[in-house]
Structures are given as structure tokens and as C-alpha cells.
Amino acid sequence: MLVAHPGAELYGSDRVMLDSVIGMLDAGATVDVTVPDVGPLIEALRRTGARISVEPSLVLRRSLLRPRNWASTIATSFRAVRATLRLVHERPDLVYVNTITLPLWPVLAKLRGIPVLTHIHEAEGSASRLMLRGLYAPHLLADATVANSEFSRSVVNRAFPSLARRTIIVYNGVAGPSATTRARASLEGGPVRLVYVGRLSPRKGPDLVIAAVEELVHQGVDVEFDVLGEAFTGYEWFAADLRAAVARAGLDSKVRFLGFRDEVWSTLHDADIVVIPSRLDEPFGNTAVEAALASRPLIVSASSGLLEATQGLPGVQRVAPGDASAIADAVRAVVADWTTQREQAAEAAQLAARRFDPERYRESIVDIVASLTQVRSSRAIHQEVTPTRGAQRFFRRFHVVHPER
């Protein structure tokens, strides 16, 4: 199996891809992963037994729309085509394209007659239909597509209804902590500790929590806020703006920037309330599930995949996207009813552990891969060629497991 991935960090889609690789390796496949740069994901992949190559790749990012970047984009595209052709020349049994931001892979793999699986992690619901069609068009060539939520599939439907109809939903698997520690019994004797986990970008909304903290402090609420995460390359300006906003509000003693950490559970363990305040659409909501698994009361934006990820979880506070005062109100509501909120968070942890079990996720992905490699291997048998060991072991009945079942 050849897996193409657009980065080497350890955020949502990176960790989901890692789970897919583990599932395929456990099923007996040999897995090669190609990424365009170096980062913490590489070491995590090495520990699984996958083989890693760092090769040029055309990754669709907003920065490509700037005219000053067009020359470098063209040069990168030529290098990416050469690298991709070299990798698919080895004729893997399957090319697994992780995210729609890799437009060359479905095209060049299909030119070589190799089955393609695209895993959709994006949901640009605010984008125009023309832009969505441009993003999804290369993936019409995929033999199968997987989306991480109903919301993600609904965005696909805006672009190409035919693609949406053959897109299978498999909710992300999210591994919980080795041991769940319940939230503290009482909030007395110290500040209420808020935490945000995720990218530092305008769409993710950490600035809204800073504004909510300012409002709470002015109202006499003893509160602290930890920001766990770093900015995308090119968004360093936003991280600087966040720090400037903290300084202007006089919150330096109340807000801590923790940077990126591979392990989130110790930070969640120290928190009282987790806030996921996305302004714009989220395809799923891994960080919201992690908060639930950590048995912490949770405040999320009432939109898109965040609603889907937290559906049915008791005690979750949902607020209007982009409203800092609504976040402050939700914090006060959780604090005022802490005993009940603490109990409901413990119930949510048990439900989330069942619904988003990583083993169920891996089995679902392996079964989809099985359906594609079986077609390839049947062709090989017809030609009196022995199918690969991975393909032989993948011959199982095709099915998809929805995590809530």
C-alpha cells in the first residue's frame, strides 16, 4: 500500500492517517508513506513499521492563490509529477490519498492502472461551488472515497452529487488516555482552568476564548486559559496577534501559550473546561472527542462536524460560532452547575470511547481497502500471477462499521 499524505505534523488528519496505516499493517500489508516535508509524524510512522519517503508533492493551500507564489508553485508541480510517477512506477496494490489537497495522486495513479482510495478530511462549506468542483474533480477518478462525517459528505455533494453518492462515511477513531481521571470534585480553592487544543488560526477561533476570558475576569470570575497548539506555516502573524491581544487586555498572568505537544492528555487532565470555538465549518472534531474522552466538560461551536462529533454526548454546551460572550456565558453555566457537569462529562467519556473506538475505525478502513485490492488481485489471478500477501489476507467480506452502532 502506498499512502500519500500532505504533511508531517501530528494534528487531526495526521493522526487519523496513522491509524489507517496501523490497521493495514496489522492486516498483513506492507505500507509505504510519502510526505513532502519532515516533522513529528515521521517518527510516529517509523514506530509502526511503515516505510517513509520524503518527496516533493503539490499540496493545495490558500497561499497558492497569491500571484507571487505562482512561479514556485509551477516549479514544485514539475518536481511533484516526477516524484509521484517514480513512486507509482513501483505499482503498489493501492494508492491511499489522504485528504483532497493532493490533486496529482489520483490522476497519475489511475494512468498507471492502480486502484485509488481518497480519504476526505475537509469540509469547506463556505467555499463557492466552482471552487469545490475544482478541489474535488481529481478525486472523481478514485475507485472509492471515504469521508469522516455526514457534514463532509454534504460538502462533496455540493460539488459532485455523483461523488457524494459513492462516498462512505467512517467516523475517525480517537484513542483516549491510558487512564481516565475525572474532573476535580470542586472548583473552590483555585481558578477555573480553561484549555483550547488545536491550530492557531482565525477559523479555529482561539481569539474568541481570549475575549471571553477578558469578559469573565472583568466580571470577577477567577479563570485561567491554556492554549495548546501552534500556527500553520504562513499564519505566524495570527499567533503574534493572539499574544498582542493578551498583552493589551492585561491577561499575561491569566493566559499561557503552551505550543505544540505530541501528548495532550496531561494538559487536558489539568483543565476544568475544554473550549473548541471554531468560527467556520469543521469536517469532524477530533479535539472535541479528545475532550470528551478526558472526561472534561466541553464547550463547542454549534456548527458542522462539531455537532456531529458531539451528538448525544451529555453535558456538552453548544454556542453560536464567533460569539465570545456566548462562550463566557457557557463557562458561567458550567461553573454554576459543576457537580452535574462533572457527572455528565464522565458519562460522555464512556460513550465517546465506544463510539470512536480506534479498532472499529481500523477495521472499517481495512475492509474498504480489501474491496479494492480484491479487484486488483482477481485480475492478477486471471493472468496466472500470484497476488501479493497483503491482498490475499485482505480478502474478507466488505462492510463498513458506523461507530455509533
Locate 209 and state its grid cell. Answer: 476564548
Inside any domain, residue 179: no
Model pLDDT, residue 61 = 78
Q: Is residue 129 part of a domain?
A: yes
Q: What percent of the chain clears pLDDT 90, i.e. is strictly above it?
A: 82
Say if CB 255 and CB 227 are below 8 A apart.
yes
| Domain identity same for 324 and 363 | no
Q: List the beta bridge partners of residue 144.
A: 117
Residue 205, in any domain of the structure: yes
Rg over CA atoms, the chain: 22
Question: Could you give the C-alpha distances from 225 to 26, 97, 246, 331, 368, in angstroms and in order?
Answer: 40, 37, 11, 12, 42
Cell of 317: 454546551
Task: Verify that 7 and 50 share a domain, yes or no.
Answer: yes
Q: Is residue 155 part of a domain?
A: yes
- Among the ranges given (14-28, 85-99, 376-390), the one the predictor scored with the smallest mean pLDDT: 376-390
- What is the rounded CA–CA span in Å between residue 15 and residue 341? 29
> For residue 308, which of 143, 195, 159, 154 has the smallest C-alpha distance?
154
Gap between the Cα atoms of 184 and 403, Å rounded: 29
262 and 307 co-located in one domain: yes
Retrieve residue 80's grid coordinates: 511533484
- The answer to the question of residue 182 being in a domain is no
pLDDT of residue 126: 85
If you average pLDDT over residues 132-143, what whole number do you get?
96
Q: Under a CB-based contact definition with an 8 Å cutoff, are residues 394 and 29 in contact?
A: yes
Mean pLDDT of 238-266: 96
Q: How far from chain centre, in Å, is Cα 310?
A: 15
Number of separate domains in the chain: 2
Give the residue with greater pLDDT, 75 vs 56. Answer: 56
Same domain, residue pair 349 and 366: no
Q: What angle do CA 231, 235, 237 make, to 5 degrees?
A: 110
Whole-structure pTM value: 0.85
Is 271 a residue whose pLDDT tops 80?
Answer: yes
Are 59 and 107 part of one and the same domain?
yes
In-domain check, residue 180: no
Q: How far is CA 214 from the centre of its chain?
A: 30
Give the CATH number, domain containing residue 225. Answer: 3.40.50.2000
Which range is least confidently modeled, 83-97, 154-168, 339-353, 376-390?
Answer: 376-390
Tell whether 292 and 350 lie within a shared domain.
yes
Q: Give the integer Cα–Cα distance in Å for 217 and 254.
A: 9
Put the strands of the sheet holding 223-228 in their side by side order.
255-259, 223-228, 192-197, 273-276, 298-301, 317-319
pLDDT band at 265 (very low <50, low <70, confident <90, very high): very high
Structural domain contains residue 110: yes
- Look at 91-95, 224-228, 352-356, 380-384 and tell me which has the smallest mean pLDDT: 380-384
Compute the distance between CA of residue 56 and CA of residue 75 in angstroms, rounded to an integer: 10
* Other C-beta atoms lying within 10 Å of the C-beta of residue 385: 10
Are the C-beta atoms of 377 and 387 separated by less than 8 Å? yes
Cβ atoms < 10 Å from Cβ of 353: 17
Q: Provide mean pLDDT across the span 243-268.
A: 96
Q: Judge whether residue 100 has pLDDT over 80.
A: yes
Average pLDDT over every residue of 257-273: 94
Per-position DSSP letters for 84-152, written without gaps between them: HHHHHTT--S-EEEESTT--HHHHHHHHTT--EEEEE----TTS-HHHHHHHHGGGGG-SEEEESSHHH
pLDDT over 50 (residue 393): no
The answer to whether residues 253 and 339 belong to one domain is: yes
Other residues' Cβ atoms within 10 Å of the Cβ of residue 180:
16
At 238, list the grid cell. 495570527
Q: Which domain, by its residues, includes 210? A: 192-355
With a cut of 60, say whether residue 385 has pLDDT above it: no
Q: Give the helix/strand (H/E) hosting 300.
A: strand 298-301
Same domain, 204 and 331: yes
pLDDT of residue 72: 75
* Residue 65 neighbours by CB under 8 Å, 6+ apart: none
Cα–Cα dist 156/164, whole Å = 5
**Cell of residue 256, nine digits:** 499561557
**For residue 150, is it within any domain?**
yes
Q: Which residues lie closer than 8 Å to 318 by C-beta, 6 or more apart? A: 299, 300, 301, 302, 307, 310
119 and 202 fall within a common domain: no
d(CA 380, CA 33): 24
CA 278 – CA 285 distance, rounded (Å): 10
Model confidence pLDDT, tens digit, residues 9-40: 998 899 999 999 999 999 999 999 999 999 99
Query: Are 351 and 363 members of one domain?
Result: no
Handedness of CA 98, 100, 101, 107 (dihedral sign): positive
Residue 383 has a pLDDT of: 38
Each residue's pLDDT tens digit, 160-207? 999 999 999 999 999 999 888 999 999 998 899 999 999 999 999 999
- pLDDT number for residue 71: 75
The 10s digit of each residue's pLDDT in 275-329 is: 999 999 999 999 999 999 999 999 999 999 999 999 999 999 999 999 999 999 9
Name which of 17-21, 209-213, 218-222, 375-379 the model is least confident about: 375-379
Decide if 197 contacts 290 (C-beta within 8 A).
yes
More confident residue, 69 or 189: 189
Q: Is the pLDDT of residue 269 over 80?
A: yes
C-alpha grid cell, residue 71: 512561479
Q: Which residue has the higher pLDDT, 80 or 67?
A: 80
Give the cell for residue 55.
518527496
Is the same domain home to 226 and 348? Answer: yes
- pLDDT band at 392, cuts 50/70/90? very low
Shared-domain flag, residues 336 and 364? no
CA max distance for the chain: 77
